[in-house]
């Protein structure tokens, strides 16, 4: 079985992220670039499956700038067998639709049985890429899985909904997206870091994949501004009327 894991390099989730108000885009030099935490969990799902079946192959795949190669090297150090980096200046600022088209073409070129992705990136929060990749590939999607289970010829899992939980399944090939309820990623050890240097890391361009990018197929930011400083809250001093004043405040804020 071959599992392709989609990963994305993002500004460090636990640091302050800065918007460049002149472009409306994230200032990616303002904080450390890392693998998105949810994608590390997706990779961990694949690696745990590999722990139980050494014949299983795990490939990490990303679309991103030159620097995204470091995130792929970390994925290799964690235990992925190979990595693929789609890097092309024409993809700078690409919208979700074209990103998904390129990812799908790269997945198809690798050959796969299962694709695993995070449910949504921490920098974009769109959550549409896994579904769009599934549409391009013509395969079933199991989205927002809290638990993923592999079996010969199929994949299943548990998905929460407003009314409870759903047990879902699909035949392979398929794509799944995972939530933060999946296990935290393992930390790459020294042996993994050293072995990562010998693992294959391929680079592809849009031309290599035969994907045509429509003119103007990029996300455009109309305006951006810094968040205003937080103002002092309303202080209620109990002088015998505090309860009524608090109730009025909550009612005015439509909180009760």
Q: What is the pLDDT of residues 243-255, one digit of tens each?
A: 998 999 889 988 8
What does the block give as tokens for 53? 């079946």
Tens-place pLDDT, residues 183-228: 999 999 999 999 999 999 999 999 999 998 876 667 767 777 777 8
- Which of 78, 84, 109 minimizes the C-alpha distance to 184? 78
- Which of 172, 171, 116 minimizes the C-alpha distance to 1? 172
H-run or E-run covering 110: helix 96-110
pLDDT at res. 84: 98
Which sign does the torsion angle of CA 68, 202, 196, 130 carry?
A: positive
Torsion angle of the four alpha carbons 26, 201, 154, 126, in this order, in degrees rounded to the nearest 10: 10
Alpha-carbon gap, residue 195 to 30, rounded angstroms: 31
Mean pLDDT of the residues in the chain: 91
What is the pTM (predicted TM-score) of this model?
0.85
Helix 129-137 vs helix 96-110: crossing angle, to nearest 10: 50
Which sign does the torsion angle of CA 94, 97, 99, 101 carry?
A: negative
* 22-31, 109-118, 192-201: least confident range: 22-31
């Amino acid at each position: 079985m071959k599992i392709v894991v989609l990963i994305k390099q993002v500004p460090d989730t636990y640091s302050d992220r800065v918007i460049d108000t002149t472009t409306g885009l994230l200032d990616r030099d303002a904080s450390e670039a890392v693998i998105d935490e949810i994608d590390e969990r997706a990779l961990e799902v694949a690696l745990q499956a590999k722990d139980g079946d050494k014949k299983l192959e795990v490939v990490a795949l990303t679309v991103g700038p030159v620097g995204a190669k470091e995130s792929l090297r970390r994925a290799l150090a964690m235990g992925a067998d190979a990595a693929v980096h789609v890097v092309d200046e024409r993809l700078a600022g690409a919208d979700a639709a074209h990103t998904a088209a390129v990812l799908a073409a790269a997945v198809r070129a690798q050959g796969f049985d299962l694709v695993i992705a995070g449910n949504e990136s921490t920098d974009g929060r769109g959550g549409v890429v896994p579904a769009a990749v599934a549409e391009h590939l013509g395969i079933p999607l199991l989205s927002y899985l809290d638990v993923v289970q592999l079996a010969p010829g199929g994949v299943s899992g548990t998905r929460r909904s407003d009314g409870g939980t759903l047990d879902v399944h699909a035949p392979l090939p398929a794509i799944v997206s995972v939530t933060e309820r999946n296990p935290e990623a393992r930390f790459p050890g020294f042996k993994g870091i050293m072995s990562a240097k010998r693992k294959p890391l391929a680079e592809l361009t849009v031309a290599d994949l035969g994907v045509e990018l429509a003119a103007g197929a990029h996300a455009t930011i109309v305006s951006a501004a810094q968040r205003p400083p937080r103002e002092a809250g309303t202080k209620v001093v109990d002088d015998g009327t505090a309860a009524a004043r608090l109730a009025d405040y909550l009612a005015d804020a439509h909180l009760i």
